[in-house]
Structures are given as C-alpha cells and as structure tokens.
Amino acid sequence: MKFRSRQPEEPEMNLIPFIDVLLVILIFLMLTTTYSKFTELQLTLPTANANAAKDHPREVVIDITADGRYAVNQQPIEGNGAAALAAALHAAADKDSIVVISADAQSTHQAVITALEAARREGLLHITFAAQSGEQ
C-alpha cells in the first residue's frame, strides 16, 4: 500500500463573520450614543441695524428694568403685576397707540410677557420692541 502524502492545505481567512461582527458593533454604538451638545442651549439675542424710528405722537413706551420694575412713558409704576401696568396703560394710551416695549437685556422673559399681557388687556394691538443698534 502506498499512501500518498497529503498536500498541506493553505489556511483561508474568512472575513465575512468578522465584517458581520463589526457591523453589529457599529449599529450598537450608533444607537446608544448620546449627543450632549443638544442638551444645552446657548442664545445670543440679535441686534437691529435699522434707522432710528421717528417720534410718533401716539407712542407709549413701556420700560422694563433688569430687576422687573416698569415705567410707562418714563413714569414709574407702583406694582409689578399686569393689572397695575394695564391701569397705567389705560391712562396713557388710546386704542390706536403704538406700544413700544423697551426691556433691559438682563430683564426676565416673564417681565416682557407681563407687559404684553397688560397691553392685551387694554386692547392695544400695535406693539413693537425696541432694540439696540448693532453699530456701536
């Protein structure tokens, strides 16, 4: 009996299971990654580059300070609520008046909303916001 010597087989490297495992890991990492930069919100409020507004005889200016105090046409208001501000607007404005809300940059959003609520209570429809000129 003559036995033939076997030819040594060259080892093959099968890459398909390796690629399958890498794709599963990639899908797992994509699904479990959290994007933390969307949890923070950085706001920079805009400035306006417009010509200065002309003085209107029916213009009522509501000033809001950083600590939430109000003034209507540069006359301080005793209360900080919408009712006190609405009473001051009733005395200073008529239905066709233009209300200009001039709020300090550090004032709260709630203070501005209170001014809008007071203008709504008095039926004042023409409301605008004062902005600082961007050319400084």
Q: What is the pLDDT of residues 65-113, one digit of tens each?
A: 888 889 888 888 888 788 888 888 888 888 888 898 988 888 888 989 9
Q: Is the residue at 71 inside a domain?
A: yes
Structure tokens at 75: 């006359």
Residue-level pLDDT at 73: 87
Domain tally, the chain = 1
- In angstroms, the CA 131 to CA 47 distance is 6
- In angstroms, the CA 43 to CA 88 distance is 32
Q: What is the pLDDT of residues 17-64, one digit of tens each?
A: 999 999 999 999 888 887 655 545 455 555 666 665 565 568 888 888
Query: Running DSSP on this structure, what letter comes out for residue 17?
Result: H
Q: Is the residue at 87 inside a domain?
A: yes
Q: Is the residue at 50 inside a domain?
A: no
Q: Is the residue at 112 inside a domain?
A: yes
Residue 110 domain boundaries: 59-129
Q: Is the residue at 41 inside a domain?
A: no
Q: Is the residue at 76 inside a domain?
A: yes
Q: Is the residue at 121 inside a domain?
A: yes
Looking at residue 102, which CATH number applies to its domain?
Answer: 3.30.420.270
Q: Is the residue at 80 inside a domain?
A: yes
